[in-house]
Amino acid sequence: MIPSPLPGQPQLHYRGPSLYLEDCRLSDLAAQHGTPLYVYSQAAMLAALEAYRRGFAGREVQICYAMKANSSLAVLQLFARQGCGFDIVSGGELERVRAAGGDMAKVIFSGVGKTRAEMRQALEAGIGCFNVESEAELEVLNEVALSMGLRAPVSIRVNPNVDARTHPYISTGLKGNKFGIAHERTLAVYQRAAGLPGLRVAGIDCHIGSQITQEAPYLDAMDRMLDLVEAIEAAGIPIGHLDFGGGLGINYDGEVPPAADALWARLLARLDARGHGGRRLMIEPGRSLVGNAGVCLTEVLYLKPGEQKNFCIVDAAMNDLPRPAMYQAFHAIVPLERPDARREPVVYDVVGPVCESGDWLGRDRPLAIAPGEHLAVLSAGAYCASMGSTYNSRPRPAELLVDGSQAHLIRSRERVAQLFENEHLLQGDRA
Ligand SMILES: *Cc1c(COP(=O)(O)O)cnc(C)c1O
């Protein structure tokens, strides 16, 4: 009934009957802070970062945390203090980097729909590079930079047309995806970029998808990108850095993705074999740095037996944990206190209070649980809080970052009044 070992980090474990994250008993945190509640392990995040660093030992690499995975300020601050840069996808994320004390020179700006205002904001901030995703964007960025008397550092995001073999909604490197510039167009686009006075060619990049659990798509994408680098440089345009994006998967349900250090040992061997070992490198990991570092705690409100299904209704919902509703994603769900062995497990669909049939967190889960008891939704450190909404006027949960036996409140539970503070009643007294 309880998966053993628990998917994810060694920082999450049972001691006796109680589930702990590092040295914090999660039942205590739920009692103290209420639910739903996100709890993240600092040690797990640092260990995930360390795995990448081991893989890159002795190389010149900039790790740019893809902050959309979890953009809480304290999480950004933790990575900034470790020397990480950030991969951002909006002007809002740029302001978060600033608020967290990140280094603007280590920021790269991705995304297919950057506005002129966002370009100006990023140029003023002095970010490290724009990852340009279309020819039209290249022209606009050139105009904006010229109007400010600046040259924008650019890298073209190449769509290498490789299948990341992941869920279609999180696959980004195929021809049919909206991301990047087609492999066939890349040389022509670099020639155009090199001729525009408001731009400076800084590098090349790709990002082929997310929750990738195999090595082959990375090797394929690297080969495709190196072919392009060789062609572009043969045409007289030097390419500075090579950015291989993010996308490395995590263990949600027994998946065994390559470890970051092993993956990079293989990729660097390929890079060396092709004579590009001395290049400046960048990566943009998101999920693999934070996903397994977090859990979402929730209280069981009601058990509702049915003819076809039994429902376990909890106080967290699709607005807090959107991945099951969005991608039919699996999160392991375990009790905060192991039940008495005499209690018989029942198979439940674990669902939230939101008025949508898509509001489910887990299907067909055997649980020996009673109302008032608590569950932990595992692997909830990435694309959960950051993707959450306030649908059904549900305030956002509080977030804690634990470090050993200390739990730091890094986000207070949102107050209902905050949900409508920007709203305006109609003026006047006409009906
Ligand atoms: C989302 C994203 C990433 C991070 O992806 P993960 O799967 O979380 O590692 C990296 N680069 C770009 C451009 C992205 O959009």
pLDDT digits (tens, 9 = 90+) for 365-397: 999 999 999 999 999 999 999 999 999 999 999
How many structural domains does the chain have?
2
Amino acid letter at 232? I
Band (pLDDT 50/70/90 cuts) for residue 163 is confident
285 is in an annotated binding site: yes
Q: What is the pLDDT of residues 251-274, one digit of tens each?
A: 999 999 999 999 999 999 999 999
The last residue of one of the domains, among 285, 317, 338, is 285
Whether 241 and 140 share a structural domain: yes
Is the pLDDT at 317 greater than 80, yes or no? yes
Is the pLDDT at 179 greater than 90, yes or no? no
Q: What is the predicted pLDDT for the residue at 259? A: 96
From the alpha carbon of 211, which atom of ligand 1 is closest?
A: 7
CA-to-CA separations, 227 to 80, 186, 396, in angstroms, rounded: 33, 11, 46
Q: From the centroid of its chain, how far is CA 397?
A: 18
Q: How many angstroms separate the alpha carbon of residue 284 from the centre of ligand 1?
A: 6
Does residue 286's CB lie within 6 angstroms of at least one atom of ligand 1? Answer: yes
Whether 315 and 220 share a structural domain: no
Q: What is the pLDDT of residues 397-429, one digit of tens each?
A: 999 999 999 999 999 999 999 999 999 999 987
Does residue 69's CB lie within 6 angstroms of at least one atom of ligand 1? Answer: yes
CATH number at residue 303: 2.40.37.10
Q: How many angstroms separate the alpha carbon of residue 69 from the centre of ligand 1?
A: 8
Q: What is the predicted pLDDT for the residue at 264? A: 97
Whether 149 and 27 share a structural domain: no
Q: What is the predicted pLDDT for the residue at 341? A: 87
In a domain, 85, yes or no: no
Does residue 323's CB lie within 6 angstroms of at least one atom of ligand 1? Answer: no
Region 328-350: mean pLDDT is 95
d(CA 244, CA 281): 8
- Annotated catalytic residues are 355
Q: What is the predicted pLDDT for the residue at 282? A: 98
SS3 307: coil
Q: What is the predicted pLDDT for the residue at 349? A: 97
Percent of the chain predicted with pLDDT > 90 = 89
In a domain, 158, yes or no: yes
Region 145-172: mean pLDDT is 84
Q: Where are the alpha helices (DSSP H) in 56-168?
A: 73-81, 91-99, 116-125, 135-147
Q: What is the predicted pLDDT for the residue at 333? A: 97
246 is in an annotated binding site: no
Q: What is the predicted pLDDT for the residue at 9? A: 73
Q: Which domain holds residue 344?
A: 12-41+291-419
Percent of the chain predicted with pLDDT > 70 = 97
Band (pLDDT 50/70/90 cuts) for residue 170 is low
Q: What is the predicted pLDDT for the residue at 10? A: 80
d(CA 72, CA 235): 43
286 is in an annotated binding site: yes
Is the pLDDT at 169 greater than 90, yes or no? no
- Judge contact between 126 and 137, C-beta under 8 A: no
Is the pLDDT at 92 greater than 80, yes or no? yes
Q: What is the predicted pLDDT for the residue at 423? A: 98
From the alpha carbon of 68, which atom of ligand 1 is closest?
A: 1
Out of 123-137, 173-187, 346-360, least confident range: 173-187
Q: What is the predicted pLDDT for the residue at 422? A: 97
Q: What is the predicted pLDDT for the residue at 430? A: 73
Q: What is the predicted pLDDT for the residue at 7? A: 76
Out of 30-39, 58-67, 170-179, 350-359, least confident range: 170-179
The last residue of one of the domains, among 228, 259, 285, is 285
In a domain, 90, yes or no: no
Whether 265 and 334 share a structural domain: no
Q: What is the predicted pLDDT for the residue at 253? A: 93
Whether 124 and 268 share a structural domain: yes
Region 80-107: mean pLDDT is 98
Q: How many angstroms separate the alpha carbon of residue 245 from the centre of ligand 1?
A: 6
184 is in an annotated binding site: no
The last residue of one of the domains, among 285, 318, 348, is 285
Q: What is the predicted pLDDT for the residue at 216? A: 93
CATH number at residue 204: 3.20.20.10
Higher pLDDT: 163 or 276? It is 276
Does residue 249's CB lie within 6 angstroms of at least one atom of ligand 1? Answer: no
Is the pLDDT at 360 greater than 70, yes or no? yes
d(CA 184, CA 159): 9
In a domain, 428, yes or no: no
d(CA 282, CA 280): 7
In a domain, 98, yes or no: no
Q: Which structure tokens are listed for 104?
A: 């603007």
Region 226-239: mean pLDDT is 97
Does residue 258's CB lie within 6 angstroms of at least one atom of ligand 1? Answer: no
Whether 271 and 295 share a structural domain: no
Q: Which structure tokens are listed for 90?
A: 């909006």
CA-to-CA separations, 34 to 46, 284, 374, in angstroms, rounded: 27, 34, 11
Whether 143 and 273 share a structural domain: yes
Most confident of the following: 8-22, 161-175, 374-388: 374-388
What mean pLDDT, rounded, does the chain reach?
Answer: 95
In a domain, 56, yes or no: no
DSSP 379: S
Is the pLDDT at 167 greater than 80, yes or no? no
Is the pLDDT at 176 greater than 80, yes or no? no
d(CA 181, CA 218): 18
CA-to-CA separations, 32 to 11, 24, 37, 38, 369, in angstroms, rounded: 21, 12, 10, 13, 21
- Judge contact between 45 and 286, C-beta under 8 A: no
Region 56-79: mean pLDDT is 97
In a domain, 102, yes or no: no
Q: How many angstroms separate the alpha carbon of residue 358 from the centre of ligand 1?
A: 25
Band (pLDDT 50/70/90 cuts) for residue 194 is very high
